[in-house]
Amino acid sequence: MNEIRKIAPVAIWDNFQKLCDTPRPSNKEEAVLKLLEKMADDKGLAHFRDSGGNLVVSVPAKAGFEDRKMVILQSHVDMVTQANSGSTHNFDTDPIRMVMDGEWITADNTTLGADNGIGAAAMMGFMTEDGLEHGPLELLFTVDEERGLTGAMNLEPGRLKGEILLNLDTEDEYELCVGCAGGGDLVASYDYTEEAVGAGQVARDIALTGLKGGHSGIDIILGLGNANKLMARFLRTAICDFDARIVKINAGTARNAIPRESFATIVLPEGKVSDFDAALNAFASDIKDEIGAIEPKFAVAATNADLPAKAMSAKDSKAFNNACVGAPNGVQAMSTSVEGVVETSINLAIVKLGEGKAKVTLSARSSINSARDAMREVATAVFENIGASVAWGDAYPGWKPDANSEVVSLMKAVHKDMFG
């Protein structure tokens, strides 16, 4: 992708290419941290890793700027690792292949990692570009953000010296983030009864594909399709109208990604297959009417599958799927103080089912901690109602906006000077 490395500002795109060439899944950031440490060593910059695994690089002030307040720039180095079905990409070993499509840069059937790779690439510029004027800097590269902010949560107290912290993990031009939702996950575990598949039954694989997916914080406001919710919606029809039983479900890969695909296997009476297929076609038509404008590539299809020896019992199939249908998902409340901003949301992120065990992961967000946990309580109640056990993950707090802070005022003034 030599043409990408020529895009201005060249330093940022050159640095981003280095990040794309270096595997960096969450909790597997050693390779990218070593890359950054070598870059610092090549420039003679002091650096250390704290007890939380985060990397801090110190960049001295340029001449004439020594008396300025020290600024901390922060980005995370890990990325969401999602690939489309059929992709053979190995995120542990393979580089991300960038694709230029007009004015957009995407990846070849995988996530790109611009969250937060572009922020990290900009920070790397302070290590590689000698002509930049700035005061003293600390470059804070945190780890394992996408799995639950564990690097930031375990940041070692007392190691940073900066007075101002600027986070570079945002995407929109001409906007400054001055507040943020907190978040917390929950995992529902459900042990179910399997029963023999009798004579006169057939198996069908259902593939729900083509959704855009997206970040469950940034993109939740867009009304994108959630593959888990859509699959549960159709499975309710299959179970209630055609006596289907669930064999397995595999959908979603990350707690903070809106699931783009869902794959399920069911069994049903052979005599009901024709009506089942007609219902699936009707469902596909309905969904295209509902979200086709924003999800033009949505598709769902059923194909013949090998008949399994066992399937989920009819009772448990209905109970579990009803819980997925009833589980909260999407925007729950908009901010009453900041127009157009989501206050509270939740994402039905991952559903895995097979061989007597099911697991569902949801991720709740809110700028109000009590509202975040209220959503987790709602989801907990839904799954406990069918006998599932529910465990809450560690939560992180919201960041209440302060539009009148000194830093916000300064940034607004600089933005006006630069862009009018």
The alpha carbon dihedral of 159, 149, 142, 25 has a sign of: positive
The alpha carbon dihedral of 234, 235, 239, 240 has a sign of: negative
**115 given a catalytic annotation:** no
**145 given a catalytic annotation:** yes
> Of residues 145, 146, 261, 373, which has the active-site annotation?
145
Report d(CA 55, CA 37) in Å as an integer: 8
Report d(CA 289, CA 278) in Å as an integer: 17
Q: Which residues contact residue 50 at a Cβ distance below 8 angstroms, ignoring those fewer than 6 apart?
A: 56, 155, 156, 159
357: which 2 tokens?
Answer: 């065990």
> Of residues 50, 78, 146, 316, which has the active-site annotation?
78
How many CA atoms does the CB half-sphere of 269 hold within 13 Å? 9
Report d(CA 74, CA 25) in Å as an integer: 18
Report d(CA 111, CA 105) in Å as an integer: 11
Q: Which residue has the tokens 């097979």?
A: 354
Helices (H) and strands (E) in the chain, counts: 9, 20
Active-site positions? Answer: 78, 145
